Amino acid sequence: MVHGLTPPAGPPAPGPPPGSPSPGPPAGRRRPAGHRTVPHTADLRVEAWAPDREGCLAEAVAGLVDAFADRAAARPHRTASLRLPPAPDEDLLVALLEEVVYRLDVAGELPVAVEAAPVPGGGLDVRLAMAGTGEVEAVGALPKAVSLHGLRMGAGDGWSCSFTVDV
């Protein structure tokens, strides 16, 4: 199954309040996907969640991009594909986020939509719908690097992750 997200139609839905546990889904329902930024001194902290690992990784990318760019009106000019080899979930998260930061820095482009699908053995196939930075409105500082401090990804009530980005 391929999991992804489409460009937002408006502001992202709010997540749980900062520092509080994520609310559980209604009985018999899974928590929907989403992301948010939370206050963090001099850096950017992002939390993302989804019913499954691939959706959570896609939401993490969306949360990172939405923190510095309004991608709602951007139209992709190409699709970039990458395969991440089997690795622990936190390592997949870091590799994917670092790829976004790298493409932003080197090629001046950012993903406006993401699709992620599992591959046998634990890896990940990712398709990034890329747009140029000139096609989006800047709404925050550009990311410079992904910090390993406080990095978290795991399953519980669905999947969730949190990470800090140097800006």
Helix (H) or strand (E) holding 103: helix 89-107
Domain boundaries in the chain?
45-166
Name the pTM for this structure.
Answer: 0.82
pLDDT in tens, 69-79: 999 889 999 99
Please give the torsion angle defined by the CA atoms of residues 50, 56, 60 and 65, in that order, rounded to the nearest 10 degrees. -70
Task: Average the pLDDT over 140-151 and give the result.
Answer: 93
- Distance, in Å, from the CA atom of 126 to the CA atom of 54, rounded to the nearest integer, reads 9
- Distance, in Å, from the CA atom of 154 to the CA atom of 56, rounded to the nearest integer, reads 9
pLDDT in tens, 115-139: 999 998 889 999 999 999 999 999 9
Task: Average the pLDDT over 68-90 and give the result.
Answer: 95
Domain 45-166 has CATH 3.55.10.10: yes
